[in-house]
A = this chain, B = another copy of it.
Amino acid sequence: MRADAKKNRDHLLAVAGTAIAEQGVEVSLRDIARRADVGLATLLRHFPTREALLDALLHTSFEALTAKAGALETSDSPDEALVSWLRDCVAWTTEYRGVTVLMAAAIEDPESALHASCVTLRAAGARLLTRAQAAGLARSDIDGADVFALVAALAWLGDQPALAPRAGHLFDVVASAILTGAASGDAGWVTTDSRP
């Protein structure tokens, strides 16, 4: 890659990160190009679609989440491992308002630039789920795709200004449904807030 091209690419990624943090992933690509003092065509050549831009931007985040899942696979409490990883996933999406919709669309679209990352993430979650199920700590009538969908739904809640205040509490509610709660019926130990 030519030096000026790489410079533009890196600069665009930096600017896109800022813009998305401010306005969410649906920010105007023209805005990003303007703020990077670059033509819109240049942005679109480096990243032909919004998904391609996001994939480049979120690649390290995806890797971090996947790595964390790998580390948790040897934890000695598979239920806590699963729930804490799911919580991390939901928490991570809050940094990229609107990303959930794109990921939900990408998981079944092999053409999407985000497809591979989403599939990897789902597989990582599935492994944690399977381990918890094997230990009898998670209900057995769900699979990795179910967990991915539940996390997506909870992440979407966090994206909706009117519903976001409930997202944390509802995560606990849903977590209590995933776990079989052999220890405690209301799964109080995963609760992070203290509403009645």
User: Is A111's CB within 8 Å of the partner chain B?
Assistant: no
- The verdict on A166 contacting B146 (CB below 8 Å), with A141-B196, A177-B174, A177-B177 known, is yes
B-contact 0/1 string along A98-134, CB 8 Å cutoff: 0001001101110000000000000000000000000
Asked if A157 and B166 make an inter-chain contact with CB atoms under 8 angstroms apart, the answer reads no
Distance A163 CA – B178 CA, assembled complex (angstroms): 17
In the complex, chain B residues whose CB is within 8 Å of the CB of A150: 170, 173
Asked if A166 and B145 make an inter-chain contact with CB atoms under 8 angstroms apart, the answer reads yes
Q: Which of under 10, 10 to 19, 20 to 34, or 35 or more describes the interface residues of A?
A: 35 or more
Q: Which of B104, B174, B186 contacts A162 (CB 8 A)?
A: B104
In the complex, chain B residues whose CB is within 8 Å of the CB of A148: 163
Q: Which of B108, B149, B162 contacts A170 (CB 8 A)?
A: B149
Give the residues from 151 to 185 in chain A that come closer than 8 angstroms, CB to CB, to chain B: 152-154, 156-157, 160-163, 166-167, 169-170, 173-174, 176-178
CB distance from A97 to the nearest CB of B (A): 13
User: Is A195's CB within 8 Å of the partner chain B?
Assistant: yes
User: Is A142's CB within 8 Å of the partner chain B?
Assistant: yes
Q: Which of B101, B105, B139, B170 contacts A146 (CB 8 A)?
A: B170
- The verdict on A160 contacting B152 (CB below 8 Å), with A139-B186, A140-B196, A177-B173 known, is yes
CB distance from A159 to the nearest CB of B (A): 9
